Chain A
Amino acid sequence: MADLFKLKVVTPDRIFYDGNVSMVELTTTEGDIGVYANHIPATAIVAPGLLKIHEEGGQVQKAALMAGFIEILQDQVTVMAEVAEWPEDIDVKRAEEARIRAERRLKDRYPGTDVMRAELALKRAIVRLETKAK
Chain B
Amino acid sequence: MATMRDIKRRRDSIQSTEQITKAMKLVATVKLQKSRARAEAAKPYFDLMYDTMNSIISRSGAVRHKYLQSGASPKKAVITITSNRGLAGGYNNNIVKLVNAELPAEDTLVYAIGRKGRDGLARRGFAIQGDYSEVINDPLYQDAAELTQVLLEAFARGEIGEIYLAFTMFKNTVVHTPRLLKLLPVELPERDGRADGAADTEPKARAIMDYEPDDETVLDAIVPKYMSSLIYGALLESLASENGARMTAMDSATSNAEEMIEDLSLQYNQARQGAITQELTEIVAGANAIGG
Do residues A43 and B232 form an inter-chain contact, with CB atoms below 8 A? no
B175 interface contact, C-beta 8 A: no
CB-CB under 8 A for A12 and B45, given A43-B56, A45-B221, A78-B52: yes
A20 interface contact, C-beta 8 A: no
How many B residues face the partner with a CB closer than 8 A? 28
Do residues A43 and B210 form an inter-chain contact, with CB atoms below 8 A? yes
Q: How far is the CB of B156 from chain A (nearest CB, A)?
A: 17
Docked pose: A94 CA to B105 CA in angstroms: 47
Do residues A30 and B210 form an inter-chain contact, with CB atoms below 8 A? no
Candidate in A30, A44, A67 with the most chain B CB atoms within 10 angstroms: A44
Complex interface residues of chain A between 54 and 71 (CB less than 8 A to chain B)? 67-69, 71
Q: How far is the CB of A127 from chain B (nearest CB, A)?
A: 18
Contacts of A28 in B (CB 8 A): 212
Do residues B56 and A71 form an inter-chain contact, with CB atoms below 8 A? yes
Do residues B221 and A80 form an inter-chain contact, with CB atoms below 8 A? no
Give the interface size class of chain A. 20 to 34
B49 interface contact, C-beta 8 A: yes
B289 interface contact, C-beta 8 A: no
A116 interface contact, C-beta 8 A: no
Complex interface residues of chain A between 1 and 38 (CB less than 8 A to chain B)? 8, 10-15, 28-30
B218 interface contact, C-beta 8 A: yes
Closest to A31 in B: B212
Complex interface residues of chain B between 140 and 185 (CB less than 8 A to chain A)? 141, 145
Docked pose: A10 CA to B55 CA in angstroms: 17
A133 interface contact, C-beta 8 A: no
Do residues B210 and A45 form an inter-chain contact, with CB atoms below 8 A? no
Contacts of A73 in B (CB 8 A): 55, 207
Contacts of A40 in B (CB 8 A): 207, 210
Q: Mark B5-37, 1 if CB is under 8 A from A, else 0.
A: 000000000000000000000000000000000
Do residues B45 and A10 form an inter-chain contact, with CB atoms below 8 A? yes
Contacts of A10 in B (CB 8 A): 44-45, 48
Closest to B208 in A: A41
Docked pose: A74 CA to B202 CA in angstroms: 15
Closest to B47 in A: A10
Q: Mark A91-115, 1 if CB is under 8 A from B, else 0.
A: 0000000000000000000000000
Do residues B212 and A43 form an inter-chain contact, with CB atoms below 8 A? yes
| Choice from A15, A42, A45, A80 contacting B217 with Cβ under 8 Å | A45
Do residues B48 and A8 form an inter-chain contact, with CB atoms below 8 A? yes
Complex interface residues of chain B between 188 and 225 (CB less than 8 A to chain A)? 205, 207-213, 217-218, 221-222, 225
| Choice from A41, A43, A78 contacting B48 with Cβ under 8 Å | A78
Q: How far is the CB of B258 from chain A (nearest CB, A)?
A: 40
Interface residues of B (CB under 8 A from A): 38, 41-42, 44-45, 48-49, 52, 55-56, 59, 141, 145, 205, 207-213, 217-218, 221-222, 225, 229, 232
Question: Which 8 residue pairs across A and B have the least CB separation, nearest first?
Answer: A44-B212, A42-B210, A45-B221, A41-B207, A12-B141, A10-B45, A41-B209, A71-B52
Known: A8-B48, A80-B52. 7 other contacts (CB 8 A): A41-B207, A41-B210, A43-B209, A45-B212, A73-B207, A80-B225, A80-B229
Q: Could you list some 15 contacts between A and B, CB below 8 A?
A: A10-B45, A13-B38, A30-B212, A40-B210, A41-B207, A42-B209, A42-B210, A43-B209, A43-B210, A43-B218, A45-B217, A67-B225, A69-B218, A69-B222, A80-B45
